């Protein structure tokens, strides 16, 4: 049984992970910005008698993190696992997205991970053990147009995690990265472009890709299962691609040179549609310009 802190538990991967870990007898401190606005997790914990304690935590605020960690240590004298899951995203061109989108996503997805990690490290280091699981994304390794803020933030998580893993290894602390593909979560709704008019017609392709990929309805429990395997010591790998499209997407990108990957932005719609159909993605119905 481990004592586990998870960020971003109001929905999606964080929610599913909190429930799955608790069902497997781990004590879960499920955190989110506004617990009073999200009663469903508490109801499940109460109805199923699960060891889930819900706490407020905003990963963009140092005091909020400090207060949450203090509350966790009030309940227990040991933090075994931190799951840095909280994340946001949107789609749009670099030119047209407001600079605030870049700042917000970097602050939440990357700096939030740094803040929470720094908050638990002194405790784990003194205890000579622990595990930090950072939720990255295929988008942190595969960089595609109209996804710059999100991909940049997740690429930062990838680099940070590898540096961290080397630094804390002498203290018996493990670091693992989880790289989901497209998962059917509310984040995908939030990733829809907020731009009503754009000078970049291929933005529609990006939206169509995520819409078609979500049609496969890969549930967040798939990611939760990977996290459970890491927590239980059943997976010892550093990077953990997760979901049916994760490894194929990463393999597809690795098979191409940087120049060919970038040049792919110039292919015509029919060629792109055929390429997507080869990946079992029905993007045609989401392209209004055809």
Catalytic positions: 10, 136, 150, 154
Say how far apart CA 268 and CA 55 lie, in whole Å.
Answer: 49
Say how far apart CA 117 and CA 94 lie, in whole Å.
Answer: 29
Region of residue 213 (phi > 0: left; psi between -120 and 50: alpha; otherwise: beta): alpha
- Is beta strand 130-135 parallel, antiparallel or unpaired with respect to 173-180? parallel
DSSP state, residue 78: -
φ and ψ of 270, to 5 deg? -65, -40
What SS3 state is found at 229? helix
Handedness of CA 47, 51, 54, 59 (dihedral sign): negative
Token pair for 84: 């840095």
Say how far apart CA 91 and CA 145 lie, in whole Å.
Answer: 9
Measure Cα distances from 272 to 12, 204, 230 in Å.
30, 12, 37
């Amino acid at each position: 049984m481990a004592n586990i802190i998870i960020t971003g538990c109001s929905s999606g991967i964080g929610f599913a992970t909190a429930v799955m870990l608790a069902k497997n007898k781990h004590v879960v401190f499920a955190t989110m910005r506004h617990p009073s606005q999200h009663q469903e997790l508490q109801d499940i914990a109460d109805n199923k008698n699960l060891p889930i304690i819900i706490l407020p935590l905003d990963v963009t605020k140092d005091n909020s993190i400090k207060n949450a960690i203090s509350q966790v240590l009030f309940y227990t004298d040991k933090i075994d696992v931190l799951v840095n899951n909280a994340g946001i995203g949107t789609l749009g061109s670099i030119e047209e997205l407001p600079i605030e989108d870049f700042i917000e996503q970097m602050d939440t997805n990357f700096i939030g991970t740094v803040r929470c990690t720094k908050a638990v490290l002194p405790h784990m280091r003194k205890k000579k053990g622990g595990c930090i699981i950072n939720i990255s994304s295929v988008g942190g390794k595969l960089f595609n147009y109209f996804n710059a803020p999100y991909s940049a933030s997740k690429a930062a998580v990838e680099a940070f995690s590898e540096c961290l893993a080397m630094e804390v290894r002498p203290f018996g602390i493990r670091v693992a990265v989880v790289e989901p593909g497209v998962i059917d979560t509310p984040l995908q709704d939030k990733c829809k472009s907020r731009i009503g008019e754009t000078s970049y017609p291929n933005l529609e392709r990006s939206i169509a890709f995520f819409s078609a990929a979500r049609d496969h309805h890969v549930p967040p429990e798939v990611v939760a299962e990977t996290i459970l395997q890491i927590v239980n010591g059943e997976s010892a790998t550093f990077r953990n691609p997760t979901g049916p499209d994760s490894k194929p997407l990463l393999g597809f990108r690795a098979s191409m040179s940087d120049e060919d990957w970038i040049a792919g932005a110039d292919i015509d719609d029919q060629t792109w549609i055929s390429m997507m159909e080869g990946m079992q993605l029905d993007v045609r119905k989401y392209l209004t310009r055809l």
